[in-house]
Chains A and B, each alone.
Chain A
Amino acid sequence: DAGVTQSPTHLIKTRGQQVTLRCSPKSGHDTVSWYQQALGQGPQFIFQYYEEEERQRGNFPDRFSGHQFPNYSSELNVNALLLGDSALYLCASSLRTGRTEKLFFGSGTQLSVL
């Protein structure tokens, strides 16, 4: 049973560029959430996708956008990259039933903006 997979594992970009990160959820999961984790800090919620729509959004600018495909996989896009966007980007999947939807995380994509 494959867990949450993310690609690429590492990425280096320059300021102003655009980046796309990809995530495949755990088998059987229908909901994907994206988190940003700065060095030495806890993950910060970016947004969540369910049924191909953005359902919730954290305090992130609209430079951050996403998409969910019919097979439940998801992409995170960041436009006009800033130095402060350098972080570990984590994808988490869950099954949207009940109130105890556990998040299962991938290993993340380490983004460095130069």
Chain B
Amino acid sequence: GESVGLHLPTLSVQEGDNSIINCAYSNSASDYFIWYKQESGKGPQFIIDIRSNMDKRQGQRVTVLLNKTVKHLSLQIAATQPGDSAVYFCAEKGNYGQNFVFGPGTRLSVLP
């Protein structure tokens, strides 16, 4: 069945360092992926997305990499800041009309 998972459930990084959050997916038919950030007491917030016809996409301080060969997705955050502390989810979507499947999340803690 479909599943989305994360390699690391928790990640601690020093302020100013780069962070890399990983995600594995099992549905090879998934063609659209989103990274969400969820802070305590809030709903998930859209960070960046990528379609399966791309292998890299950059935003402001964030980069998403997609490796379809090994069904792996990663989120890179440059110069990590205290405000980046949150739980990060990857979500995948298959063909048009299917719902998003979310992974269990990775908690990112930024150390001063």
Contact = CB atoms under 8 A, between A and B. Distances in A.
> A and B: real partners?
yes
Interface of A: 4, 33, 35, 40-45, 48, 55-56, 58, 90, 92, 98-100, 102-108
A112 to B, nearest CB: 14
Contacts of A58: 99
A107 B100 CA distance: 18
A40 B43 CA distance: 13
A100 B49 contact: yes
User: Secondary structure at chain A's binding surface: helix, strand, loop or mixed?
Assistant: loop
A98 B41 CA distance: 31
Contacts of B91: 103
A92 B45 CA distance: 11
B89 A43 contact: yes
Interface of B: 4, 31-32, 34, 36, 41-46, 49, 51, 89, 91, 93, 95-105
Contacts of A44: 102
Contacts of A45: 99-101
A42 B34 contact: no
Which 6 residue pairs of A and B lie closest in terms of their CB atoms, listed nearest first?
A105-B43, A42-B102, A45-B99, A99-B96, A107-B43, A105-B44
B99 A106 contact: no
B46 A102 contact: yes
A33 B99 CA distance: 9
Nearest to A57: B99
